[in-house]
Structure formats: structure tokens, C-alpha cells
């Protein structure tokens, strides 16, 4: 029996560790390298000794190792990812506790209880991971991911939830009824926090989209003003162009070549150089296909030209997204 308990302990710990690495990979879509698998084997082996020495408190040490491993890949987002993974494992465990009462009515044999735990625990953990992955794909946008307020709110919720679950897991109680009641409570808390997080995400997303639209409207308005200014400049240029042609025709009609040469050098050549300079400043702008950025850059370039500020832009390749 002692050998069987030892075997169950090893299997439980290894299952726990495999899920601790599988769940983050499912949620984030990260692929492991050969070096990553080496660290996974090392940490999983180490976990057997840590669980023997520190029991459930070893979870903090193991979680820290996993966060460090993921920090290399996704920086500070690793904390959010691992906290989410741990909460999923806690929820799966509590849900099994709820189901446990019904399983023991059928059989109290270790050969029934442990396999059922393994199936329920793993299935619920993987299922929750895929659900969160799908939800994140729907609500994750560059506006939301880079928003500091959103990240602070989510980090606070995850940290408080994880701390609550961890300290609750340290409470020893032999009364199955009490354990089930607590499990129902914490499952309810988890569902509530998940809904709260989703609502906050949607609210912040709408707010950021509104601000983004306002900025785009302002940029397009400024761009429109610049286009109007360019149109006025073109009218002026056409008027000057007609005057130049009229003057040139007069010099030619009177056969005044010295006067024509002097007029050309003083008036035509400087205009030619100025037009070439302006063309160079906008060189490659047609390769920029992102409307918002193109409008903003064009408006700033034209503004700089109005203020006689030297500026140039070079976009050799087509840019369709940023």
C-alpha cells in the first residue's frame, strides 16, 4: 500500500507539472524549443523533492521558476500568464472536490478515485485553457494589450485570486461537506472575476477605440486642410506658370535672347531647384499603405515645408501594416 501511495504521489506531481507547462503553452500559443524541454524535465524532477520537503508551499518556488522561464520569451506578460495557469489548476482541483462526493458513493477504491481524479483534473484544466485562449483571441487587440490601466487591473485581479486560492489550500479540514462548500464558493468567485475581467476589457477597449477614432478624425481634418493648402498653391503655380509663358513669349517675339537668358537664370532655374527639392522630401510616401500613419506623416511633412524646416523621408519598400 505504501508503494502504491508513493506511485500515486509521483504520478500526481508529474501530472501537476506537465499541466503547469501545458496550460501556458495552450493559452499563449508559445512553442517550446529543445532547450525549453530540457528545463521542463529539470524543473519537473526537482518538483518531486520540493513537494516532499515543503508540500504545497513548494508551489511558490516552482511557479517562480516557470515565470523566469517564460519571462525570457514574453517579458512581464509571463506573470499574468502563469498566474492564470495556476488559477485554472486550482479551479480544476476544486471542481474535482465537488465531483469527489459523488464518486465515493460509487466506490472508495483508490483504483477508482485516483484515475477519476486524473481524468477530471486534466480534462477540466485543458478545457479551461482552450476557452481562455479563444476569449483572448477575441478581446486581445494592440490597444488593449499595451494599455497600462488594463494590465494593472488584470494583474491585481489575478494576484488576489491566486493568493486567495493558495492560502485557502493551506487550510486543513477533514470534513468533506465543508470542503465542498468552500469549493463551490471559490468556483463562484472565479466565474465572477472572469466575467468582471471580460466586462472591464470590453469597456476599456471601447474607450480606447473611441479615443483612437477621435485622433484619426483630427489627423484627417489636419490632412484635409493641408490638401486645401496644396490646392491653393497649385492654383497660384498655374497662375505663375501662365505669366511665365507670357513673359517668355514676349522675349521670343521681340527676339531678345540676352533678356530671355537673364530672365531664365533669375526666375526659372530657382523655381526648378525648389520643385526638385520638394519632390525629394516626399520620395517614397506612396509606399506607405497605412492610411492613418500616411495622413499624419504627410501632414507633418507639409507643415515642416511651410515653416522652411529641412526634412526628408525615404520609404524604399511597401509598408502595409505596423
Q: Closest Cα partner for 212 from 299, 146, 152, 151?
A: 146
2: pLDDT confidence band, cut at 50, 70 and 90?
Answer: very low
Task: Report whether 73 contacts 30 (CB < 8 A).
Answer: yes
Q: Which of 18-22, 74-78, 121-125 has the lowest mean pLDDT?
A: 74-78
Cα→Cα distances 39→33, 46, 89, 298, Å: 10, 10, 21, 50
Percent of the chain with pLDDT over 90: 0
Residues 281 and 313: beta-carbon distance below 8 Å: yes
Q: For all residues of the chain together, what is the average pLDDT?
A: 72
Give me the mean pLDDT over the 243-252 stretch.
76
Report long-range pairs for 45-48 (Cβ below 8 Å, ≥24 apart): 47/13, 47/16, 47/17, 48/10, 48/13, 48/14
Cβ–Cβ under 8 Å, residues 303 and 287: no
Segment among 62-76, 144-158, 231-245 with least mean pLDDT: 144-158
What mean pLDDT is predicted for residues 6-28?
77
**What's residue 297's pLDDT?**
72
Instruction: Give the residue ranges of DSSP H helices in the chain.
Output: 2-28, 34-54, 58-74, 77-106, 110-139, 142-145, 148-169, 176-253, 257-263, 269-281, 291-306
Q: Are 139 and 131 in contact (CB under 8 A)?
A: no
Taking the alpha carbons of 153, 157, 160, 166 in that order, is the dihedral positive or negative?
negative
Give the start-to-end residue ranges of the domains of the chain. Answer: 2-208, 213-306
Beta-carbon contacts of 150 under 8 Å, excluding residues fewer than 6 positions away, are: 144, 200, 201, 204
**Would you say the pTM of this structure is higher than 0.75?**
no
What whole-number distance in Å separates Cα of residue 65 and Cα of residue 72?
A: 12
Least confident of 31-35, 75-79, 294-298: 294-298
Dihedral of the alpha carbons of 34, 36, 38, 41, in degrees to the nearest 10:
-130
The pLDDT-based confidence of 18 (bands split at 50, 70, 90) is confident
With CA atoms as reference, report the closest residue to 313 among 292, 290, 289, 288: 288
| 288, pLDDT greater than 60 | yes
pLDDT at 170: 60
- How far from each other are the two terminal CA atoms of the chain, in whole angstroms? 62
Q: Residue 282: its pLDDT value, please?
A: 56
All 3 cell numbers of residue 236? 497660384
Do residues 272 and 241 touch, judged by C-beta distance below 8 A? no
CA proximity to 312, closest of 293, 297, 290, 296: 297
For residues 139 and 200, the answer to whether their CB atoms sit within 8 Å is no
Asked if 23 and 85 count as a contact pair (C-beta separation under 8 A), the reply is yes
Taking residues 76-102, report their average pLDDT. 77
pLDDT attached to residue 9 = 63
State CA 233 to chain mean position distance: 44
Amino acid at each position: 500500500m505504501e508503494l502504491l501511495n508513493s506511485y500515486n504521489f509521483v504520478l500526481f506531481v508529474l501530472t501537476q507539472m506537465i499541466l503547469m507547462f501545458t496550460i501556458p503553452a495552450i493559452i499563449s500559443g508559445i512553442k517550446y524549443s529543445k532547450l525549453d524541454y530540457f528545463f521542463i524535465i529539470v524543473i519537473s524532477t526537482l518538483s518531486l523533492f520540493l513537494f516532499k520537503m515543503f508540500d504545497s508551499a513548494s508551489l511558490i518556488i516552482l511557479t517562480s521558476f516557470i515565470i523566469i522561464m517564460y519571462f525570457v520569451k514574453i517579458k512581464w506578460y509571463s506573470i499574468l500568464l502563469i498566474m492564470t495557469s495556476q488559477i485554472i489548476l486550482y479551479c480544476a482541483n476544486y471542481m474535482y472536490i465537488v465531483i469527489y462526493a459523488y464518486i465515493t458513493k460509487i466506490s472508495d477504491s483508490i483504483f477508482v478515485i485516483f484515475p477519476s481524479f486524473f481524468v477530471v483534473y486534466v480534462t477540466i484544466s485543458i478545457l479551461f485553457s482552450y476557452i481562455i485562449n479563444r476569449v483572448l483571441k477575441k478581446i486581445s487587440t494592440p490597444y488593449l494589450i499595451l494599455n497600462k490601466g488594463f494590465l494593472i487591473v488584470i494583474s491585481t485581479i489575478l494576484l488576489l485570486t491566486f493568493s486567495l486560492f493558495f492560502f485557502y489550500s493551506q487550510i486543513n479540514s477533514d470534513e468533506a461537506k465543508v470542503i465542498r462548500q468552500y469549493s463551490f464558493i471559490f468556483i463562484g468567485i472565479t466565474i465572477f472575476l472572469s466575467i468582471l475581467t471580460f466586462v472591464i476589457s470590453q469597456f476599456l477597449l471601447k474607450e480606447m477605440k473611441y479615443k483612437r477614432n477621435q485622433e484619426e478624425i483630427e489627423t484627417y481634418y489636419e490632412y484635409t486642410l493641408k490638401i486645401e493648402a496644396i490646392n491653393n498653391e497649385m492654383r497660384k503655380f498655374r497662375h505663375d506658370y501662365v505669366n511665365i509663358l507670357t513673359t517668355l513669349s514676349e522675349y521670343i517675339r521681340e527676339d531678345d535672347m540676352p533678356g530671355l537668358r537673364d530672365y531664365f537664370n533669375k526666375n526659372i532655374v530657382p523655381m526648378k531647384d525648389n520643385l526638385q527639392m520638394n519632390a525629394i522630401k516626399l520620395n517614397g510616401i506612396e509606399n506607405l499603405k497605412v492610411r492613418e500613419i500616411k495622413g499624419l506623416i504627410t501632414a507633418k511633412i507639409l507643415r515642416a515645408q511651410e515653416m522652411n524646416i529641412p526634412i526628408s523621408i525615404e520609404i524604399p519598400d511597401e509598408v502595409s501594416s505596423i
